[in-house]
Amino acid sequence: MLFFQKAVLFISPLYLCVHRDGNLWPEPLKFDPDRFLPSEVAKRHPFSYFPFSGGPRKCLGTRYAMMVMTTVLATILRHYKVVETGYGEISDVEMKIDVSAKCVKGQNVKLEKRLC
């Protein structure tokens, strides 16, 4: 268990560093979904973005996880609006390194039920 915790603490900052590297991702904190258009992805090194790791031991559940996340997100957005809480700029968000990166003060959004 201790080995696992140490491995996670080693790997998580690596993910954070690469996924926010300004050389790979201009304006890394800007919300820009177009970065993931197939034409943009083709311009980058395959290991510029590796949430599921890569190579022969990459996550076996990648496609399943992407499908589940897309379905869950679509279901939430069908029933709720995502509204900012006014917590501050994204650059103010304090991150905690854990198994996955977390916001120390919680999320900057709340969900409001859609009326129709």
Which residues define the annotated binding site?
Answer: 59
Q: Least distance in Å: CB of 51 to ligand HEM? A: 5
Nearest-CA neighbor of 53 among 65, 38, 43, 42?
65
Nearer to ligand HEM, 65 or 109 (CB): 65
Q: Which residues of the shown chain bind ligand HEM in the complex (CB under 6 A)? A: 51-53, 57-61, 64-65
Numbered residues of the known binding site for heme = 59
Q: Least distance in Å: CB of 89 to ligand HEM? A: 26
111: Cβ–Cβ under 8 A, 6 or more apart, which residues?
Answer: 76, 80, 81, 82, 83
